[in-house]
Each structure stands twice: as structure tokens, then as C-alpha cells.
A and B are shown apart, each in its own frame.
Chain A
């Protein structure tokens, strides 16, 4: 590795810290400064004035704001996100338990988008202006216009309610495979538990399909434009003139060059999928971070809402950092930009 790359990566990691700090302060401002009485929010809608007062003193909301900010940052540094009103447990524990479900759903959706989206984009570009190309383009334009929660409900209506081939929601029915990773598909593979594998695949199909829809469209679109860009390059013209067989040109030269931008896109989409999971999980009763966020909102469990916001912001920032670092290792030219 050249020194340039190392400096670049270190710089990116260094910039991660102020962004994270900014994120924390932003969430702090929204939760403590914007509402008239943050203690009333934390205490919940049914609390008596005495309870609100007790919470205000207990959580230090009667202190000046800068003191509160200091206490808040110190708590976060130790991983303390407060207690959930509803479950009575630590919010951090709740989030930790639910994270694998969201991760599994996100990875499954990413898998579907890559496996379907990239080939669609390639075929559409190579057969430019054919029927397939028009269909793919129509799909990419409309894929980004569909409200994901509605798509999920429609899939439930057709596949689960009318045809009865997929379950309505939840992650699994029956015994859970021996937990190792917390991802049911991987766990059941590791335990060679065919029944659990089939069952969890059946459960994940619709939510993953729904979640993948927008990213699938984006990937197809990016791949298509990437391939078209490369096709027009001089070196492709040169190879054609050399008489190289079209297959070699496509596989060895066009795809390899075109897919660089697609890979970048895959990384960026990961964060968006995590965000999209919030909505999809509520539709499919998928017990991950999103459903937790929704339940906390319904129950006005404010500490839990704050925790989910912070953690999802953190994961999003961290994922983007990781993508950036990996891409720089793959394509060192990025470090020079």
C-alpha cells in the first residue's frame, strides 16, 4: 500500500469523529431543546405532574443545557442509552437483541438487489433500445416511485392472504435454530437444520423483496449507465477493431470497468436499506430495530426512540466509512481525488 492510501484512510477515520459528535449533538438538540418539556416526553403521556417532576430531577433536565450535554455525552461513552419505559430493560440491551433481525433482512435485500439488479442493468445496456431495455427502464423509473410500505401490503395481500403461499409476518414459526450469529438463515445452515432454514427463508422472502425493490431499481440503473459509458470508450472501439470476439470484450473489458461504479453504489445502498427497514419491519412484524422504533413511537417510549435514532445514525455513518475504506483499497485512484 502506498503512503497516499494510508493517509487517505486515516483522514477518513479521523473525520468520522466530528461527524459522530455532530450527530450526537444534533440528536441532543432535537430531544432537549426543541420540545417544551423533555421530561414530560420521557415520562410518557399518562404520567402525573409529580412523576414528570421526579423524572426531570432524576435525569438532570433541571440543570443548564451545557451541563446536560456533558452528562449525556459521558453516558453515551459508556454505552448507556437509558431505560425503556415499556420493557423496563436497558435500551442498549433491547437494541442489541434486535439488531441481528434487521441485519439479516438488510443483507437478504441487498442479496436480491445485487443478484437481480446488476444482470438486469447489463442486459438492458447490451441490448439497448430493445424490448427488454424498455421494460428495465420503465421498471427503474417506477421502482423509485413506489411507497415501500404499500408494496409490502400489496405483496401480503396477494401472496399471503389470497394465495396463502407465504406467512403474513414474523421471522420464523416453530423452534428457533441454535443461536450463533443471530441470523436465522446462517444459524440453521450451520446447524444443518433444514426445516428451520426453509421456514426462515419463507418468512424473509416478502419483506426482503419489498425492501430490495428501490435498491434493485437503483442498481439496475447505475449498472446500465456504467456499461453504456464504457461501451463508448475508445479502448473498446480499438478492441473491436482488433477483432476480439464480442464475448471477450463484454466479460473481460466492459463489465470489469463498468462495475466499479456499481460496487460503490452497493455500499451506499446498504445505509439506505437499513433506513428502509424501519418501515418494512412494521408492515411484516419483523422483530428488528425498525419494529422496535415503531413500537416505541406508538407507546411514546422516548428514551427508546432516542436510542434507535442514535444507533441507526451511528450504524449508517460507520457503514459509509467502511465502504469508503474498502473502495479505496480496491481502487487506489480514489485516494487522489
Chain B
């Protein structure tokens, strides 16, 4: 208990991590309460030709788009889309990447070699290009975006978990548990996993930011979420035709992406500083 309290105290004092945490909290609340918060909740699907491309005003705080829909409302609902895509994609990558990394790190045989070689091959292609190719092959839809992102992000987890497991394996306490006759499964789950979990958490937070950016790119290029889904990347793609007059249409979805990714990056950086004070010195 006191350990957790100490960690929280450290965490709440770290401006970077705590600021990121607050942004993410706001995002989650927004996504949950989008129906209540948005002034025009029906604007995810309804069109109003009469209020086309209105500039920001008291009624439409962030203006309206080319179908007369309130941009603020669509951004709030877009938070849902973004969160769903990135949470499922990162969770799936975790579920694939972490067990593989643990296995490859703990055992030292041809299977570990194989796992790491396959991970290296995935990492040898830029993720955006691989995800673009996969999403196009699978066909444009939100589930396929999630699949493409998960299948391209898992090697990052594998690589990190592998490296940490290998170095932990040489530590005295792991040797001791093995000498006491603990089976590999028990050693991995009870002794190694808890010790690599902090790196996994940091990587997940940074991965969320990265995944949100990549999902927006896929939406922007037309292989991700499809209109009329209020996905932020799609909204920016649609807005381009109406520039320079409807500047608000292009500007606000990008700011939303920026804020959210910033939140996850700050949290990830801050957590890394807290977990590894040695790194903190060099970054401060």
C-alpha cells in the first residue's frame, strides 16, 4: 500500500506525466460522455444543407462542415473512434508481442531465434507503409485498420520484452528460483513479468500516441475509417476541398489529434523518467 502511495505521490508531482494523464482523462471522459457533451449529437449521421460551412459562432463553436454538421460534436464523437481503434490495436499488439518476447527471452533455442527474426523483418519495413499495404489489401474499414495496426505494432513489444527478459535471466534471484525447482511458467509469470511490466506500460503509452497518428494517416489516405464516420483523419481529408475559406474545418481536427497524442507522449515520457531515474538526468 505504501509503495503504491509513494508511486502516486511521485507521479502526481511529475508535471510531464501528470499533465499527460489529465489530457488522457479528459479524452476518456469526452469519449464516454460524447452523447451528453455534444451540442448536436445527431450530427454524426444527419446532414443540414442550410448550415453548410458556417464559421465558428456561439451556436457552432468550432463551425460546421460541408454537410452543415457541427464540427465540435463530430470531434467529440471522433474521440470515441480514435480511442476504440488505438486501445484495441495496442491491446492486441500487447497480447501478441509480450508472450512472444517472454518466450524468446527466457528460452534460448531455435524458437527464440525464429521469433526474433520474424520480429526483425516486421521492424525492417516502416510501419506506415506496411499498415497502408495491409489496410488496402483487407479493404477499408475500422476493424481492418485495427488489424493492420496490431499486426504491425506487436514487434516493438516483443523486442523490448525480449531484451529485458534476457538480462533478467542472468540475475541472481531468477537463478535462485530456478534452483529451488520452480517451473519455467511460474518463473516467467511470477518473477519475470512483474519486472518487465514497467517498460511495457511506458511502451504502451507511447504506442497509443503512435497508433493514433498512424490511424489518422490511414483515414486521411482513404484506406481507414470511411465517411460519414467522424474520424479525425477523414475529417481533415474532407476539409481540403473547402480551403482556404473554411479554415476551421481543417484546423480543429488536427488540433484534436495533436492534443491527444501529446497527452500520451507526455505520460509515456514522464513514466519513463519516474521508473528509470538514471534516464531522467539526461533528459532534464
Contact B221 A279 (CB under 8 A): yes
- Cβ of B161 within 8 Å of any chain A Cβ, yes or no, is no
CA distance A153 to B254 in the complex (A): 10
| Residues of A close to B265: CB separation below 8 A | 141, 144-145
- 16 CB < 8 A contacts A-B: A147-B217, A147-B258, A149-B216, A153-B240, A153-B243, A154-B250, A156-B243, A225-B282, A225-B283, A274-B126, A293-B129, A297-B222, A297-B223, A298-B222, A306-B133, A309-B129
- Cβ of A282 within 8 Å of any chain B Cβ, yes or no, is yes
| Residues of A close to B250: CB separation below 8 A | 150, 153-154, 157
Contact B128 A161 (CB under 8 A): no
Within 8 A of A (CB), among B222-258: 222-223, 233, 236, 240, 243-244, 247, 250-251, 253-254, 257-258
- Cβ of B18 within 8 Å of any chain A Cβ, yes or no, is no
Contact A275 B137 (CB under 8 A): no
Contact A305 B138 (CB under 8 A): no
Q: Please give the number of chain A residues whose Cβ is less than 8 angstroms from any Cβ of chain B in the complex.
A: 52
CA distance A157 to B240 in the complex (A): 10
| Residues of B close to A31: CB separation below 8 A | 137
A162-B223 contact in complex given A30-B137, A142-B258, C-beta closer than 8 Å:
no
Q: How far is the CB of A316 from chain B (nearest CB, A)?
A: 6
- Cβ of A79 within 8 Å of any chain B Cβ, yes or no, is no
Q: How far is the CB of B241 from chain A (nearest CB, A)?
A: 12
| Residues of A close to B244: CB separation below 8 A | 157, 161-162
| Residues of A close to B222: CB separation below 8 A | 297-298
- Cβ of B10 within 8 Å of any chain A Cβ, yes or no, is no
Q: How far is the CB of A275 from chain B (nearest CB, A)?
A: 3
| Residues of A close to B126: CB separation below 8 A | 271-272, 274-275, 312-313, 316
Contact A149 B137 (CB under 8 A): no
CA distance A151 to B265 in the complex (A): 18
Q: Please give the number of chain B residues whose Cβ is less than 8 angstroms from any Cβ of chain A in the complex.
A: 48
- Cβ of A23 within 8 Å of any chain B Cβ, yes or no, is yes
- Cβ of A189 within 8 Å of any chain B Cβ, yes or no, is no
Contact A275 B128 (CB under 8 A): yes
- Cβ of B132 within 8 Å of any chain A Cβ, yes or no, is yes
Within 8 A of B (CB), among A273-330: 274-276, 278-279, 282, 293-294, 297-298, 305-306, 308-309, 312-313, 316-317, 320
| Residues of A close to B240: CB separation below 8 A | 153
- Cβ of A228 within 8 Å of any chain B Cβ, yes or no, is yes
- Cβ of A77 within 8 Å of any chain B Cβ, yes or no, is no
- Cβ of B121 within 8 Å of any chain A Cβ, yes or no, is yes
- Cβ of B5 within 8 Å of any chain A Cβ, yes or no, is no
- Cβ of A179 within 8 Å of any chain B Cβ, yes or no, is no
- What is the interface of chain B, defined by CB distance below 8 A to chain A? 16, 117-118, 120-122, 124-130, 132-134, 136-138, 209, 213, 216-217, 220-223, 233, 236, 240, 243-244, 247, 250-251, 253-254, 257-258, 261-262, 265-266, 269, 281-284
Residue of A nearest to B138 (CB): A34
Q: How far is the CB of B104 from chain A (nearest CB, A)?
A: 16
Contact B254 A154 (CB under 8 A): yes
Contact A278 B132 (CB under 8 A): yes
Q: How far is the CB of B276 from chain A (nearest CB, A)?
A: 13
CA distance A246 to B40 in the complex (A): 62
CA distance A225 to B216 in the complex (A): 30
| Residues of A close to B251: CB separation below 8 A | 154, 157
Q: Contact check: which of B121, B127, B213, B247 meets A23 at CB < 8 Å?
A: B121
Contact B282 A145 (CB under 8 A): no
CA distance A274 to B128 in the complex (A): 11
- Among A27, A147, A151, A279, the most chain B Cβ lie within 10 Å of the Cβ of A147
A41-B124 contact in complex given A149-B220, A150-B254, A279-B217, C-beta closer than 8 Å:
no
Contact A147 B125 (CB under 8 A): no
Q: How far is the CB of A33 from chain B (nearest CB, A)?
A: 10
Q: How far is the CB of B247 from chain A (nearest CB, A)?
A: 6
Q: How far is the CB of B23 from chain A (nearest CB, A)?
A: 10
| Residues of B close to A278: CB separation below 8 A | 128-129, 132
| Residues of A close to B284: CB separation below 8 A | 228
